[in-house]
Structure 1
Amino acid sequence: MKILSILAHPRSDSFCHAVSERARAALAAAGHEIAHHDLYAERFDPCLSADEAYTVGDTLEGAISRAVDPVVARHRAEISTADGLLVVHPNWWGKPPAILAGWLDRVLVPGVAYRLAAADGLPEGLLSVRRALILNTSDTPAEREQADFGDPLDLIWRNCVLPFCGVTASQRRVFRPVAGSPDAKREEWLHETEALCRTFYV
């Protein structure tokens, strides 16, 4: 499979980086083709400009050519041909980091990720991505996440983003709590990451 890997964490020594690296190594060992982007390392600009703002009737060619930033054009082209998606990011305030939210705004646009063909607001998914794996880190215990917050990250990915882009199979795993976790626990999570990548992308 052609898998697009997106990493969003500003510190290169973060556990998110370790998870992404281990995931990509497992995918490469399984023979998958990987295009990887560390958004912070690449200094991805999250701000959608007026010039590249999407239109309802846009085509893939139009959406790619109209991207003012060549980096965005490359990302749009890569996601349009990917079979799989891997996204690694922390849970910050119940949402992805701003740089990743901006990536969604600038890359998953009409003509690339979906098409609005009717006035009912229900999009037609355009991506060829068959499987999307979202790996998160968090310091909030699972019980409190559900009881107090309702797991907004799960709602964002599973209800608001992936299904409207045509992704039919998705899985999300949260490693928590990361703060204060011993090395042995982190290594256990990294082994789990490898196993997930070996079994999910088939």
Structure 2
Amino acid sequence: MHIVIIFNHPYEGSYCNAILRSVKTGLERAAHTVDTIHLDNERFNPVMTAADLQAFRNRVPVDPTVIAYRQRLAAADHLVFIFPIWWELMPALTKGFIDKVIFPGVAYDYTPRGYGMIPLFKKIRSITVITTMNTPGFLYRLVFGNAIRKAVITGTFWKMGYKNRKWINLSGVKQASEKKRSNWLRNIEHRYAQLR
């Protein structure tokens, strides 16, 4: 299979980067091909401009990066998003990627009656979102309402019609022991080595 990873973390020494390495190692063990869209390194511009919004209405993107990403995503069998949760939400580059690339005429179209969506990336079988945060998981669920699940898993990919969606959230990362962090990385590598 061909896996496209959408990665967002600016610091090379971050735990998200360790997760990225584990995902890629697992995928390589399983002989999958991998394309990593590193939003920070590729200097993706997350800002929706007036031209982008006009393009949204016309359903034809004008940002050359978005056009290039469309081709890369169209080749994917599986998408993996990896990013930290900052102030209970995704970083700006991930939000901008969703705003500018998950775009009508690129990632989805509307049903004939206009009330639903049809995904245009026909090869994609599944989508996984892997996040890290320092907030304890129970607080994120009870106080902050699982904002990423609502915004990304349900509000974006369920709404678009993708049935196979998974969210792996590693909470309390700052407080976690080195042993626990190492176990998480091993489990992630194993998961992706088993991906079929």
C-alpha RMSD of matched pairs (Å): 1.8
After superposition, where does 1:151-166 map in structure 2 within 5 Å?
A: 151-166=146-161
Q: Taking structure 1 as the reference length, what is the TM-score of the superposition? A: 0.88
Partner Cα distance (2:56, 2:115) in 1: 14
- Identity over the aligned pairs, expressed in percent? 26
Q: Is the 8 A contact 2:26 2:191 kept in 1?
A: no
Question: Is the contact between residue 28 and residue 193 of structure 2 (CA under 8 Å) also seen in structure 1?
Answer: no
Number of aligned positions between the proteins = 194
Partner of 2:28: 28
- Letter matched to residue 123 of structure 1: M
Matches within 5 A, 1:177-196: 177-196=172-191
2:65 maps to 71
Residue 88 (str. 1) matches residue 88 (str. 2) = no
**What is the alpha-carbon distance in structure 2 between the residues aligned to residue 160 and residue 3 of structure 1?**
22
Aligned in 2, Cα 1:111/1:163: closer, same or farther, shift over 3 Å?
same
CA distance in 2, matches of 1:91, 1:118: 36
In 2, are the aligned partners of 1:127 and 1:167 still within 8 Å (CA)?
A: no
Separation in 1, partners of 2:98, 2:127: 14
More displaced stretch, 12-21 vs 115-124: 115-124
Residues 127, 165 of structure 1: 8 Å contact kept: no
Greater than 3 Å deviation, 4+ residue runs? 52-58, 117-121
84-93 or 124-133, larger mean C-alpha shift: 124-133
Shift of 1:162: 1.0
CA deviations on 1:72-116 (whole Å, 9 max, x unpaired) are 221111112211101101111221101110011111111121112
Contact 2:4 2:76 in 1 (8 A): yes
1:130-145 → structure 2 map (5 Å cutoff): 130-145=125-140
Q: CA deviation at 1:119?
A: 5.5
Q: Is 2:15 the counterpart of 1:15?
A: yes
The Cα shift of 1:189 comes to 0.6
Deviation at 1:195? 2.2
Q: Which runs of 5+ in 1 are unaligned?
A: none
